[in-house]
Chains A and B, each alone.
Chain A
Amino acid sequence: MTIDPGIMLEFLPYLLHGAIYTIVLSTVAIAIGIVMGLIIALMKIAPLKVLRWPATAYTDFFRGTPLLVQLMMLHYGLPQIFHYTPVAWLDAFIGLGLNSAGYVAEIFRAGIESIDRGQTEAARSLGMTYMQAMRCVILPQAVRRVLPPLGNEYIALLKDSSLVSIIGMSELMFRARLLNGSTYRPFEAFFTAAILYLVITLPLTQLVAVMERKMSISDKRS
């Protein structure tokens, strides 16, 4: 059997639709990740132990176990204990969001800790509280520094989101697998999917490279 570009073209609209779900899913997940990740990062560097350790436990768990295992636990494990009917798309959003929060928290923590200690000291010496110094002095500087790694995390998330096909959300990978099953055209199905993933990730990779270059220039100047 040879490769049939006509079939790839036929698959395209259906897969394209899935690609949109992939983008929406990853975007919502990174948004959840950013909000939760910031809170977890602040907890991790907090002066209080009671805040630090749950945050550390969180990042250890979500970075130390496979995303696939997390998704399975969420989608099959929890319903078994709490007796409810799982909803695939909801679990996809939640699972991916919780997972990205673990990684984003580490990105934020590293970004915050990369800011010179003198900045905090200057802010505190003016009478600012810990939180005021964070909000007005440290975070605005840290945000710029974490943009490139956040971009990379988003790209990783776009690819990892293919795993939610296992629990049955109808995104790009799920649809490719479905086409494979119904037409026995695995190459056309998965190759078209691969191209669609690339179309999404390549511009983002470029964008991150540009941000990194800009940042290294401004770092040299200051």
Chain B
Amino acid sequence: MISVRNVRKNFGNLEVLKGVNLEVKDGEVVVIIGPSGSGKSTLLRTINRLEEPTSGEIYIDDVCITDRNVDINRIRQHVGMVFQSFNLFPHLTALQNVALAPVVVQHRPPAEVQELAMAQLSRVGLAHKANAYPQQLSGGQQQRVAIARALAMEPRFMLFDEPTSALDPEMIGEVLAVMKSLARDGMTMVVVSHEMGFSREVADRVVFLEYGQILEEGTPEQLFDHPRHPRTQEFLSKVL
């Protein structure tokens, strides 16, 4: 369970999150939508503390991760993150990208991790690219390796920040397919994405964020087909 409680975030004088509350139950898929600059990335990044909230608390299971004394590196092992710009390690092959953290962070035996990494690459359909370097892969393939890299830590939660918005249209499908299969396997996911088709298919809940506040949330049908808030309607009419 992820529980975001009254989280605020300031960058200097700019208040980017204005008291956000969000609960994500185990096995749930929550999609966050909202205009550019509304604070979607910032909200997502506070969940693994890549961004420190200015105030408020975030609980992962029963651990208050915004507590100063918490070992954030331990928490992050259970919370995978996928970035808009992939951020693969360019000096390592696909396989090495996936195998790095389990060896370095979890101190698992390299031979065992090799197998695990191979299995994760197969899961995203890229076993045959194990020895390719990121610059030899297409955008869609890079993003799938990035997903495999996060999965290799065997996380309980996955955070996705616009994972397909840097991709050419013909590559979006392959990444979404991987994410859908993850969702079907029961992974708890928080996804920032404006891919309606994906949301309708796998999201349990869609959250509309604007100016650092959650204006409305509900099932995909409720939110996309019968938005109550005029701002949501206006936003959807632009995106759809």
A-side residues, CB < 8 A to B, are: 116, 118-119, 121-129, 132, 136-137, 140-141, 144, 221-222
Asked whether, in the complex, the Cβ of B91 is within 8 Å of the Cβ of A124, the reply is no
For the complex, what is the distance from the CA of A119 to the CA of B146, rounded to whole Å? 12
Asked whether, in the complex, the Cβ of A136 is within 8 Å of the Cβ of B77, the reply is no
Asked whether, in the complex, the Cβ of B89 is within 8 Å of the Cβ of A126, the reply is no
Asked whether, in the complex, the Cβ of B104 is within 8 Å of the Cβ of A128, the reply is yes
Interface set, chain B 184-230, CB cutoff 8 A to A = none
| Across-interface contacts of A141 in B (CB, < 8 A) | 89-91
Mark each residue of chain B from 59 to 86: 1 if its CB lies under 8 Å from any CB of chain A, else 0: 0000000000000011011011101010
For the complex, what is the distance from the CA of A132 to the CA of B105, rounded to whole Å? 8
| Across-interface contacts of A126 in B (CB, < 8 A) | 76-77, 80, 100-101, 105, 149-150, 153
Asked whether, in the complex, the Cβ of A129 is within 8 Å of the Cβ of B73, the reply is yes
B-side residues, CB < 8 A to A, are: 48, 50, 73-74, 76-77, 79-81, 83, 85, 87-91, 100-101, 104-106, 134-135, 146, 149-150, 153
| Across-interface contacts of B48 in A (CB, < 8 A) | 125
Known A128-B104, A132-B105; contact A122-B74, beta-carbon cutoff 8 A:
no
- A136's nearest neighbour on chain B, judged by CB, is B104
For the complex, what is the distance from the CA of A144 to the CA of B92, rounded to whole Å? 13
Can you identify 30 A-B contacts, CB atoms within 8 angstroms?
A118-B83, A118-B85, A118-B87, A119-B87, A121-B50, A122-B87, A122-B88, A122-B89, A124-B73, A124-B76, A125-B48, A125-B50, A125-B81, A125-B150, A126-B76, A126-B80, A126-B100, A126-B105, A126-B149, A126-B153, A127-B73, A127-B105, A128-B101, A128-B105, A129-B73, A132-B105, A137-B89, A140-B91, A141-B89, A141-B90
- A125's nearest neighbour on chain B, judged by CB, is B81
Listed residue (A122, A124, A126) with the most chain B CB atoms within 10 angstroms of its CB:
A126
- B97's nearest neighbour on chain A, judged by CB, is A122
- A221's nearest neighbour on chain B, judged by CB, is B135
For the complex, what is the distance from the CA of A125 to the CA of B72, rounded to whole Å? 10
For the complex, what is the distance from the CA of A125 to the CA of B79, rounded to whole Å? 8
**Smallest CB separation, A55 vs chain B (Å):** 25
Asked whether, in the complex, the Cβ of A122 is within 8 Å of the Cβ of B83, the reply is yes
For the complex, what is the distance from the CA of A190 to the CA of B105, rounded to whole Å? 58
Going nearest first, the 7 A-B pairs with the smallest beta carbon separation are A122-B87, A126-B101, A127-B77, A118-B87, A125-B81, A127-B76, A222-B135
| Across-interface contacts of A125 in B (CB, < 8 A) | 48, 50, 76, 79-81, 150
Asked whether, in the complex, the Cβ of B74 is within 8 Å of the Cβ of A127, the reply is yes
| Across-interface contacts of A122 in B (CB, < 8 A) | 81, 83, 87-89, 146, 149
| Across-interface contacts of B79 in A (CB, < 8 A) | 125
Asked whether, in the complex, the Cβ of B83 is within 8 Å of the Cβ of A124, the reply is no
For the complex, what is the distance from the CA of A8 to the CA of B79, rounded to whole Å? 72
For the complex, what is the distance from the CA of A140 to the CA of B91, rounded to whole Å? 7
| Across-interface contacts of A119 in B (CB, < 8 A) | 87, 89
B73's partner among A116, A128, A136, A140 (CB-CB below 8 A) is A128
Asked whether, in the complex, the Cβ of B73 is within 8 Å of the Cβ of A222, the reply is no
**Smallest CB separation, B69 vs chain A (Å):** 16
| Across-interface contacts of A132 in B (CB, < 8 A) | 104-105
Asked whether, in the complex, the Cβ of B100 is within 8 Å of the Cβ of A136, the reply is yes
